Structure 1
Amino acid sequence: MFSTRENDKFLGIFYGYRKPIKNIITRYRDNGIIKSYTFSKVYYIEFKF
């Protein structure tokens, strides 16, 4: 997934969540009915070298 160089040191994996400035709205169609839902939190993961 990630290519590393010879002298890279792995510092760790960090993860968490934060509240976005504006909720993310996702719309989709299910059997001809338009539905939507929102994400109130955004989750993330970081790999630090």
Structure 2
Amino acid sequence: GYQPEYGARPINRLIRRDILSEVSKYMLENPEVESINIGYDNGVIVSR
């Protein structure tokens, strides 16, 4: 989460590592997909 000494950098890293990279892979493997919904369920990032 947020840490005062680091600002939002940990959150940015989490988004890049856990969300953006997975969405990018999925979009490359499934070019027909036009949109993706992302959520958070019981501590796990999920796509719907």
TM more than 0.5: no
Give me the TM-score of the superposition, normalised by structure 1: 0.28
- Indicate the structure with greater strand content: 1
- Indicate the structure with greater helix content: 2
Kindly name which structure, 1 or 2, has the bigger radius of gyration based on alpha carbons. 1
Which of 1 and 2 has higher RCO (CA within 8 Å, sep 6+)?
A: 1
